[in-house]
Amino acid sequence: MISKIDHIGIAVKDLEARLGVYRDAFGLAGIHVEDVPTENARVGFVPVGDSEIELLESTTPDGVLARFIEKRGEGLHHIALAVDDCQTMLDRLRSAGVRTLDETPRAGARGSKVGFVHPSATGGVLIELVQHLKQEGKDGR
């Protein structure tokens, strides 16, 4: 089941500079930054109400994010939907004939499980399915 829009992903060239805008100019606090080696990315989550903005910077010059920015420039990369069970949702989508990039979930930021839906299935926008795992009595956020 989908419970909400979890976050909006924005590809950026300089994570720290862009985080400064959200922190200093917009006055947003509670920013969480981490490396996501499986995606060759450094990410920053900026809480906004019940959702977040995720800024993504490539950690390699030839990574997926670097190629995305080179081709399209900085900007919207994906919309993430919070799901109860990432595997079940991926299976459901594939059974309905929806093209996914993943058959099984992969490791995501903050210990989550994620899977991606191909943009061709959704009108040109990459959709990320995010399952936050329970960690020490918290939801991983």
Q: Tens digit of pLDDT for each residue in 82-111? A: 999 999 999 999 999 999 999 999 999 999
Instruction: Write down the pLDDT at residue 135.
Output: 58
The answer to whether the predicted template modeling score (pTM) of the entire model surpasses 0.85 is yes
Identify the CATH number of the domain defined by range 2-131.
3.10.180.10
Question: Residue 83 is encoded by which pair of tokens?
Answer: 């799901």
CB of 11 within 8 A of CB of 69?
yes
d(CA 100, CA 1): 17
Confidence band, pLDDT 50/70/90 cuts, at residue 134 = confident
Per-residue tokens: 71: 């081709």
Task: Give the integer Cα–Cα distance in Å for 106 and 136.
Answer: 21
Pairing of strands 51-58, 106-107: unpaired
pLDDT tens-place string over residues 11-55: 999 999 999 999 999 999 999 999 999 889 999 999 999 999 999
